[in-house]
């Protein structure tokens, strides 16, 4: 046991050095009035909560994560279901297509979406070519555009956990349900969906956390008109050179996201217990 503990020490030291220590420094910086850390103050937190614009940015960011996660779930679940039902050969192909975007830089993918969503982009050309609109749709630098791109960029984080759970489901459960007279939809809503909830919750947690912190995608697709927490933190630190306030924003943002993730995790544990029961 002591030998095993010694093996863990390097990992614990690495975790402390590269994760815990920066957070401690960030917290300490947020409790000072300047970067030199002279004097203790809660002024940065008071400034945030007394400014409606600041916490409206936080609310907008949290809601953006919810919207992107819901879109990911709406399209990701059918993809995961299709992968789980496919044969071994086709499943490998489909899984490769799902993870392929991860192998590409997020900057490259985001710039590709700028080309697609622009006024003269591919999507507008298709819409106008089909006669669905007489003028280009305004998708770039809008929240709709940001949600669309976030959903595509984070899609693998939703599909893979759901696929893992669906692949482990006993097919005899569905067969027994159909033998007893239940249709496909009833079988899905009464058996498949409840049993796949752990995968759904895991996918939602990963997708939500990645979406609300996606600085590159939010900034490039949303532009300067849409300000979310990652961009606000960057502007306070680099633009305004107000590092203590940027640190306070980071702490508030991190704690808020952790609360949301904790709530989702609690829902996932309850659904797992209910599924076993």
Q: What is the CATH number of the domain that holds 135?
A: 1.10.3720.10
> What total number of domains does the chain contain?
1
127 found inside a domain: yes
CA distance 177 to 80: 21
24 found inside a domain: no
155 found inside a domain: yes
- Per-residue pLDDT in tens (0 to 9) along the chain, 277 residues: 455 666 677 777 777 777 888 888 899 999 988 777 777 889 899 999 999 999 899 999 999 999 999 999 999 999 999 998 887 788 888 888 888 888 888 888 888 898 888 888 888 888 888 888 888 888 889 999 999 999 999 999 999 999 999 988 877 777 787 777 777 788 888 888 888 999 999 999 999 999 999 999 999 999 878 999 999 999 999 988 899 999 999 999 999 999 999 998 888 777 665 555 5
pTM: 0.88
CB 75 within 8 A of CB 160: no
Domain range for 206 is 51-276
21 found inside a domain: no
CA distance 187 to 207: 27
Tokens representing 128? 């106008």
CA distance 11 to 5: 10
């Amino acid at each position: 046991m002591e030998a095993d503990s010694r093996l863990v020490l390097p990992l614990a030291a690495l975790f402390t050095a590269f994760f815990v220590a920066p957070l401690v420094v960030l917290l300490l910086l947020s409790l000072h009035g300047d970067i030199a850390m002279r004097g203790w103050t809660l002024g940065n937190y008071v400034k945030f909560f007394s400014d409606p614009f600041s916490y409206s940015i936080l609310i907008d960011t949290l809601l953006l994560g919810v919207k992107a996660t819901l879109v990911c779930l709406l399209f990701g679940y059918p993809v995961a279901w299709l992968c789980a039902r496919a044969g071994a050969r086709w499943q490998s192909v489909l899984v490769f297509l799902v993870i392929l975007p991860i192998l590409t830089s997020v900057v490259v993918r985001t710039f590709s979406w700028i080309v697609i969503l622009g006024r003269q982009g591919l999507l507008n050309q298709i819409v106008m070519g089909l006669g669905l609109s007489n003028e280009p749709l305004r998708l770039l630098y809008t929240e709709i555009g940001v949600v669309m791109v976030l959903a595509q960029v984070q899609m693998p984080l939703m599909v893979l956990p759901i696929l893992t759970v669906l692949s482990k489901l006993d097919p005899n459960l569905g067969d027994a349900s159909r033998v007893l007279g239940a249709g496909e939809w009833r079988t899905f809503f009464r058996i498949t969906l409840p049993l796949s909830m752990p995968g759904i919750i895991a996918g939602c947690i990963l997708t939500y956390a990645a979406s609300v912190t996606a600085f590159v995608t939010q900034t490039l697709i949303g532009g300067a008109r849409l300000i979310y927490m990652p961009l606000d933190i960057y502007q306070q630190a680099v633009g305004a050179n107000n590092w203590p306030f940027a640190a306070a924003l980071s702490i508030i943002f991190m704690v808020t996201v952790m609360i949301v993730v904790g709530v989702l995790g609690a829902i996932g544990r309850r659904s797992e217990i209910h599924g076993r029961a």
